[in-house]
């Protein structure tokens, strides 16, 4: 009978990680719907970026209040998860604080630091909630953050608070049971925070406190497993994806936009005096005519799709966007959210149709992102610079503009005029190329 | 001001069997826009004064393709790029200086993959080098003691991380350099980039150049320094909109340097 607990725990654990593995598989499959782009060059710079930006949070602290509070939560979760290892082993083998005898004094330091971090997490999360719901910072009450994304942000804060409170209650009841006459639990750990909670158990029977301890223990670990599985449905995926996202991020200067290789081929052919314009195209049964630019998620590259899953909707991009600040519809955050929402929709379509995408008469362009948004961008790179995890909304905007112009000839009239001028006379205005040096003799 | 500019073309240089130290890429704005032409001439006056051996492409220069690329027309961009690269390579151009951050970015970053490999520098970096090499001496002159704020062009600053050269030059003028609340990596766009210069803005509640002009005016400057002909236009329009053209001037850094030396 006494193994029932352990078996139940093993089942819960396997289910929790199993469902999570399925979600991860789906995310990887969806990201791979994007076209290929080589981001394996220069691993040294990539590891350095990941260490600095994801692990070191270097871009978060550019806004110091949010940055430092975020570090509390981030360090808290990373460090407190070390405790998770012990919890899992205890759960599986019916032990209690199995690491304590092996670590001695170090164990006390560890438990004490977990407790201090837990209280810092609760503090930071509370301030986050206040900033979001009472102070109502602009980027948190923005029009592209309504409905689920708004609730999602709060759910995450509630989840974290509850988990930390359960962790502290678990420790407090444990401490109480260590200190009762006769000692139900062996002495282990140092409890700088929960020692102040422990007195609430005074006067309760040992049996009741043991029951409470087990309840806190179970709720805490099950809560963590639920939270882990919630990630897939939430913006909170960034806690995992920030790492690959910063690794695979663009290393080139922000001003350098990629040159479409398919276009290079055609332009070279056009400019080659020896090319035979009437030559039949080389026969390739499987050749798909190149599509220029992006109208849907499958046209974007996999790093852009990874970007979409990584975005945690903090809105720093949108708050720094010149178009958004002056009342235009463009919001770089919405570009990322739309891309992810559409990618999820395409993924569900594939799931529902036995692994094949069945056209649904919808596209990222128009059904999610309108040309008006795309044309408002000044390509100033403020959004790219701001993103704490190196997401590039700009690259998606540019790829969609390419589709509008090269596949649909749907540029605004004035831009068409500008481009006609470049074609005709090599300048965006109607001046003859022969007059380019006239300034030399003008006064 | 005497206007006896010496502006050799690459063709003339080649005819004499000479290769200039640097090719000055004038750009479309610098060639045709009335305001920007003044910047071009100011820069040439400095080049002439310092005896820098340079040449321009003249009628052989064509748009780099930047606005076409940013508007989404990759075809037109690459056509322009390939044609320009043919010309530049035919003259065996090695080093290019330009007063336009958009040309600068495109030539520097987007041409190499298409076969155009040059050392490309912005004119503020070039002027800084002339000073560092002792070829150009700069004093404050008429600007001494004035309050100047610098607007970072997106394609010079964020896009290519050139923040210090223009500021170093301004500081050589014995002036008070004041920073706007948003500057360097946090600088706000003037509103012209991404081909916006050539179209009307989408519906909104304000023009970007007005927002940026307000940033600049907050510093109560005598002069707003720019390093891009398009930023210059946008900020000049902003100043006119605010009816401040009597008090505040928008000037390119090349103009500041040239005018300070009474060139």
What residues in B contact A250, CB-CB < 8 Å?
A: none
Tell whether A47 is covered by a domain: no
What residues in A contact B28, CB-CB < 8 Å?
A: 426-429
Tell whether A58 is covered by a domain: no
Query: Which A residues 314-333 touch B at CB under 8 Å?
Result: 320, 322-323, 325-330
| pLDDT (0 to 100) of residue A277 | 67
Tell whether A116 is covered by a domain: yes
Q: What is the dihedral of CA A165, A170, A175, A176, to 10 degrees?
A: 100
Whether A168 and A19 map to the same domain: the answer is yes
Q: Could you report the per-residue pLDDT of A350-371, keeping only the tens digit for each? A: 999 999 999 999 999 999 999 9
Q: Which of A185, A220, A247 is the last residue of a domain?
A: A247
> Which CATH number covers residue A312?
1.10.1060
| Contact at CB, A378 and B160, closer than 8 angstroms | no
Tell whether A50 is covered by a domain: no
What residues in A contact B63, CB-CB < 8 Å?
A: 422, 426-428
Tell whether A41 is covered by a domain: no
| pLDDT (0 to 100) of residue A443 | 75
Give the Cα separation of A311 and B220 in Å (integer). Answer: 39
Q: Could you report the per-residue pLDDT of B20-39, keeping only the tens digit for each? A: 999 999 999 999 999 999 99
Tell whether A51 is covered by a domain: no
| pLDDT (0 to 100) of residue A2 | 63
Query: Which A residues 387-416 touch B at CB under 8 Å?
Result: 398, 401-406, 411-412, 414-415
| pLDDT (0 to 100) of residue B1 | 47
For residue B2, pLDDT beyond 60: no
Task: Pull the structure tokens for residue A213.
Answer: 């301890």
Give the mean pLDDT of A250-265. 95
| Contact at CB, A428 and B67, closer than 8 angstroms | yes
Whether A287 and A198 map to the same domain: the answer is no
What residues in A contact B78, CB-CB < 8 Å?
A: 259-260, 263-264, 267
The pLDDT > 70 percentage for chain A reads 97
| pLDDT (0 to 100) of residue A149 | 95
| Contact at CB, B194 and A406, closer than 8 angstroms | no
Give the Cα separation of A132 and A158 in Å (integer). Answer: 13
Whether A234 and A271 map to the same domain: the answer is no
A64 in contact with B, Cβ within 8 Å: no
Whether A225 and A112 map to the same domain: the answer is yes
Looking at the structure of chain A, the number of domains it has is 2
What residues in A contact B69, CB-CB < 8 Å?
A: 257
Whether A243 and A265 map to the same domain: the answer is no
Whether A352 and A408 map to the same domain: the answer is yes
For residue A290, pLDDT beyond 80: no
| Contact at CB, A380 and B194, closer than 8 angstroms | yes
The pLDDT > 90 percentage for chain A reads 84
- Give the pLDDT band of residue A271 (cuts 50, 70, 90): confident
Contacts of A292 (CB under 8 A, 6+ apart): A260, A262, A263, A402, A403, A406, A407, B74
Q: Could you report the per-residue pLDDT of B184-210, keeping only the tens digit for each? A: 999 999 999 999 999 999 999 999 999
Q: Report the SS3 class of residue A143.
A: coil
What residues in B contact A377, CB-CB < 8 Å?
A: 194
ipTM: 0.95
| pLDDT (0 to 100) of residue A278 | 72
| pLDDT (0 to 100) of residue A284 | 63
- Please choose, from the candidates B99, B59, B29, the residue with its C-alpha nearest in 3D space to the C-alpha of residue B256: B99
Task: Pull the structure tokens for residue B118.
Answer: 């040059």
- Give the pLDDT band of residue A266 (cuts 50, 70, 90): confident
Whether A157 and A89 map to the same domain: the answer is yes
- Please choose, from the candidates B65, B99, B236, the residue with its C-alpha nearest in 3D space to the C-alpha of residue A428: B65
| Contact at CB, A439 and B207, closer than 8 angstroms | no
Whether A239 and A370 map to the same domain: the answer is no
- Give the pLDDT band of residue A1 (cuts 50, 70, 90): very low
A433 in contact with B, Cβ within 8 Å: yes
- Give the pLDDT band of residue A145 (cuts 50, 70, 90): very high
| pLDDT (0 to 100) of residue A285 | 60
- Give the pLDDT band of residue B4 (cuts 50, 70, 90): confident
Interface test with B, best of A143, A273, A275, A326 (most B CBs within 10 A): A326
Whether A241 and A322 map to the same domain: the answer is no
| Contact at CB, B70 and A414, closer than 8 angstroms | no
For residue A279, pLDDT beyond 80: no
Tell whether A54 is covered by a domain: no
Whether A162 and A200 map to the same domain: the answer is yes
Give the mean pLDDT of A51-77. 94
Whether A201 and A77 map to the same domain: the answer is yes
Range of the domain at A101: 3-31+63-247
Tell whether A350 is covered by a domain: yes
What residues in B contact A264, CB-CB < 8 Å?
A: 78, 114
| Contact at CB, A329 and B31, closer than 8 angstroms | no
Q: Which of A247, A271, A297 is the last residue of a domain?
A: A247
For residue B152, pLDDT beyond 70: yes
Q: Which of A216, A247, A278 is the last residue of a domain?
A: A247
For residue A242, pLDDT beyond 80: yes
Give the Cα separation of A267 and A247 in Å (integer). Answer: 33
Give the mean pLDDT of A123-149. 95
Give the Cα separation of A144 and A149 in Å (integer). Answer: 9
What residues in A contact B155, CB-CB < 8 Å?
A: 255
User: Nearest CB to A401: which of B26, B65, B72?
Assistant: B72
Give the mean pLDDT of A243-259. 97
User: Nearest CB to B109: which of A255, A292, A443?
Assistant: A255
Whether A265 and A212 map to the same domain: the answer is no
CA of B56 vs chain A CAs: smallest distance (Å)? 9
């Amino acid at each position: 009978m006494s193994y029932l607990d352990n078996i139940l725990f093993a089942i819960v654990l396997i289910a929790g990680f199993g469902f999570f593995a399925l979600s991860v598989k789906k995310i990887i499959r969806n990201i791979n719907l994007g076209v290929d782009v080589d981001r394996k060059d220069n691993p040294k710079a990539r590891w350095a970026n990941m260490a600095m930006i994801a692990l070191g949070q270097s871009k978060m602290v550019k806004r110091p209040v949010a940055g430092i509070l975020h570090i509390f939560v981030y360090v808290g979760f990373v460090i407190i998860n070390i405790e998770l290892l012990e919890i899992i082993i205890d759960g599986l083998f019916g032990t209690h604080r199995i690491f304590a005898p092996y670590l001695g004094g170090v164990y006390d330091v560890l438990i004490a630091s977990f407790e201090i971090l837990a209280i810092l997490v609760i503090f930071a999360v509370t301030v986050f909630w206040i900033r979001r719901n009472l102070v109502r910072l602009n980027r948190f009450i923005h029009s592209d953050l309504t409905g689920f994304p708004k609730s999602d942000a709060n759910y995450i804060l509630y989840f974290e608070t509850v988990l930390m409170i359960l962790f502290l209650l678990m420790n407090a009841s444990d401490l109480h049971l260590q200190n009762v006459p006769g000692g139900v639990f062996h002495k282990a750990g140092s409890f700088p925070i929960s020692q102040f909670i422990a007195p609430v158990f005074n006067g309760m029977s040992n049996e009741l406190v043991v029951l409470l301890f087990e309840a806190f223990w179970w709720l805490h670990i099950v809560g963590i497993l639920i939270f882990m599985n919630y990630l897939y449905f939430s913006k909170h995926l960034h806690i995992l994806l920030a790492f690959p996202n910063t690794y695979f991020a663009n290393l080139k200067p922000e001003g350098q936009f990629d040159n479409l290789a398919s276009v290079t081929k055609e332009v070279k052919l056009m400019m080659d005096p020896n090319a035979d314009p009437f030559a039949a195209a080389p026969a390739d049964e499987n050749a798909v005519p190149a599509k220029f630019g992006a109208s849907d998620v499958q046209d974007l590259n996999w790093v852009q799709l990874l970007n979409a899953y990584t975005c945690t909707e903090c809105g720093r991009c949108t708050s720094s966007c010149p178009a958004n600040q002056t009342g235009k519809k463009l919001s770089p955050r919405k570009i990322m959210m739309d891309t992810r929402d559409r990618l999820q929709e395409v993924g569900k379509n594939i799931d529902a149709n036995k692994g094949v995408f069945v056209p649904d008469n919808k596209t990222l362009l128009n059904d999610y992102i309108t040309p008006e948004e795309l044309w408002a961008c000044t390509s100033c790179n403020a959004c790219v610079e701001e993103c704490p995890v190196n997401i590039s909304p700009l690259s998606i905007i540019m790829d969609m503009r390419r589709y509008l112009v090269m596949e649909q000839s749907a540029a605004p009239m004035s831009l068409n005029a500008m481009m006609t001028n470049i074609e005709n006379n090599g300048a965006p205005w109607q001046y003859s190329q022969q007059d380019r040096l006239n300034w030399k003799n003008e006064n | 001001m005497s206007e006896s500019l010496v502006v050799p073309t690459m063709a003339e240089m080649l005819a004499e069997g000479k290769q200039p130290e640097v090719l000055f890429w004038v750009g479309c704005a610098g060639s045709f826009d009335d305001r920007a032409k003044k910047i071009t001439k100011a820069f040439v006056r400095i080049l002439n004064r310092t005896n820098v051996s340079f040449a321009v492409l003249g009628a052989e220069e064509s748009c780099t393709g930047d606005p076409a690329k940013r508007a989404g027309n990759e075809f037109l961009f690459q056509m322009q790029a390939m044609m320009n690269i043919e010309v530049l390579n035919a003259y065996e151009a090695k080093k290019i200086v330009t007063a336009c951050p958009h040309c600068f970015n495109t030539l520097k970053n987007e041409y190499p993959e298409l076969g155009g490999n040059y050392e490309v520098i912005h004119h503020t970096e070039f002027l800084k080098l002339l000073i560092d090499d002792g070829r150009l001496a700069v004093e404050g002159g008429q600007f001494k003691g004035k309050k100047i704020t610098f607007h970072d062009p997106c394609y010079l600053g964020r896009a290519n991380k050139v923040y210090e050269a223009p500021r170093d030059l301004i500081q050589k003028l014995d002036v008070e350099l004041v920073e706007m609340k948003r500057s360097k990596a946090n600088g706000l766009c003037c509103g012209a980039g991404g081909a916006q210069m050539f179209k009307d803005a989408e519906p909104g509640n304000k023009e970007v150049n007005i927002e940026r002009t307000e940033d600049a005016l907050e510093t109560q400057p005598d002069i707003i320094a720019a390093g891009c002909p398009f930023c210059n236009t946008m900020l000049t329009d902003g100043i006119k909109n605010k009816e401040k053209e009597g008090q505040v001037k928008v000037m390119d850094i090349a103009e500041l340097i040239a005018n300070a030396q009474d060139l």
